A = this chain, B = another copy of it.
Amino acid sequence: MAPPSRLLPATLQILRRRCASRFSTASSIVSPPSKAVLYDEHGAPDQVLRVADVPPVHLGDRDVCVRMLAAPINPSDINRIEGVYPIRPPLPGAVGGCEGVGQVHALGPAVTAPLSPGDWVIPSPSSFGTWQTYIVKNESMWHKVRSDVPMEYAATVTVNPLTALRMLRDFVQLNPGDAIVQNGATSIVGQCVIQLAKVHGIHTINIIRDRPGSEEAKGKLKQLGADEVFTESQLDMKNLKSLLGALPEPALGFNCVGGNAASLVLKFLRQGGTMVTYGGMSKRPVTAPTSYFIFKDISMRGFWLQKWMNSDKAEDCRTMIDYLLGLVHEGKLKYEMESIPFSEFSLALEKALGKHGSQPKQVVRF
């Protein structure tokens, strides 16, 4: 990654134009100077990202200036920078990151939202540009959240836990005692699925990769509440249903891997079941025999949180975030993260890119 630098004049002009066009009345309130991680072209994140100084911004009447506390590096952030994500911020001068938590620093003169300096807020729905120390956005973009949870959870509650919650609710009517099946169970979404299902009395059948430490991973997932955890190689057999024991056949399955791991989810599903794809970690497609559709009446769907948040669900979204942070507060929702100071952003990025082997979710503290 390029070293911290002052903004190039061209980028500066663009940022100024954007700021100027965002509000009609310029107040005399000005944000502090900010540092941002940004990129001017798509490419490998460790090649195109750089830390730059961003000049102060005049707050519009209804703008809120937030001092960011923490923001994660999500896979979708990487994909946006690489240019392979369908929704991307305009270039040049795009600031990375899409979710995070901050503290209200200053309010425009006409802000009506019940916000005070010091309140914790998150961008909701999540939006571009959370990898910076100060952000100025219209009050409607911010959602006040409780501040009695670790800031890393407030910073990451939207992209992963909300995906898990929506997928459990949006596709199949589940009742206590039902079961679901998922692959990629060690991912944060996977861990959230296990815990959120447990809260509602839903059993989970979990599939993980074969790798060194898979026994330890099984133990961790069971501690979170997983009913069954299998490695893919354990499922290399004909009659998967015999492994269910007293668990009912699942009506719902989640796939974030593709390839063989997706086929295993399909094999577990009961007649008329639904598999929801929300990721493709193996980069392999999803394949199903014709008979699954015709005789087993399987449905295959997809879930993309971004699309859901851009629908008319923004209010729902905030209610659910409050619910999820409540569970965090009660100790019913937890997942592993690594908190790393902003000064070490390059290291956090390398870890997020997998250059140091398997690592927990990286959360940058500002």
Q: How far is the CB of A260 from chain B (nearest CB, A)?
A: 13
Instruction: Tell me, in angstroms, the Cα distance from A307 to B304 when the chains sit together.
Output: 31
Instruction: Tell me, in angstroms, the Cα distance from A294 to B287 when the chains sit together.
Output: 15
Which residues 260-318 in A have Cβ within 8 Å of B in the complex?
Answer: 276-280, 285-304, 307
Q: How far is the CB of A189 from chain B (nearest CB, A)?
A: 13
Q: How far is the CB of A294 from chain B (nearest CB, A)?
A: 5
Name A286's contact: one of B278, B288, B296 (CB within 8 Å).
B288
Name A300's contact: one of B86, B285, B291, B300 (CB within 8 Å).
B300
Q: How far is the CB of A313 from chain B (nearest CB, A)?
A: 15
Instruction: Tell me, in angstroms, the Cα distance from A304 to B299 when the chains sit together.
Output: 13
Q: Which residue of B lies closest to A302 (CB)?
A: B293
**Residues from chain B with Cβ under 8 Å of A301 in the complex:** 293, 299-300
Say yes or no for A258: interface residue by CB 8 A criterion. Answer: yes
Contact between A297 and B304 (Cβ–Cβ < 8 Å)?
yes
Instruction: Tell me, in angstroms, the Cα distance from A292 to B262 when the chains sit together.
Output: 15
How many copies of this kind of chain does the complex include?
2
Name A285's contact: one of B288, B303, B307 (CB within 8 Å).
B288
Instruction: Tell me, in angstroms, the Cα distance from A290 to B278 when the chains sit together.
Output: 8
Instruction: Tell me, in angstroms, the Cα distance from A35 to B303 when the chains sit together.
Output: 56
How many A residues have CB within 8 A of the partner chain? 28
Q: How far is the CB of A348 from chain B (nearest CB, A)?
A: 25
**Residues from chain B with Cβ under 8 Å of A304 in the complex:** 294-295, 297
Q: How far is the CB of A80 from chain B (nearest CB, A)?
A: 13
Q: How far is the CB of A280 from chain B (nearest CB, A)?
A: 3
Name A307's contact: one of B86, B276, B289, B297 (CB within 8 Å).
B297
**Residues from chain B with Cβ under 8 Å of A286 in the complex:** 287-290, 293
Name A280's contact: one of B278, B290, B298, B300 (CB within 8 Å).
B290
**Residues from chain B with Cβ under 8 Å of A300 in the complex:** 288, 293, 299-301
User: Can you sample 28 A-B contacts with CB below 8 Å?
Assistant: A279-B294, A280-B289, A280-B290, A280-B291, A285-B289, A285-B290, A286-B287, A286-B288, A286-B290, A286-B293, A288-B300, A293-B300, A293-B301, A293-B302, A293-B303, A294-B303, A294-B304, A295-B302, A295-B304, A297-B302, A297-B304, A298-B302, A299-B299, A299-B300, A299-B301, A299-B302, A300-B300, A300-B301
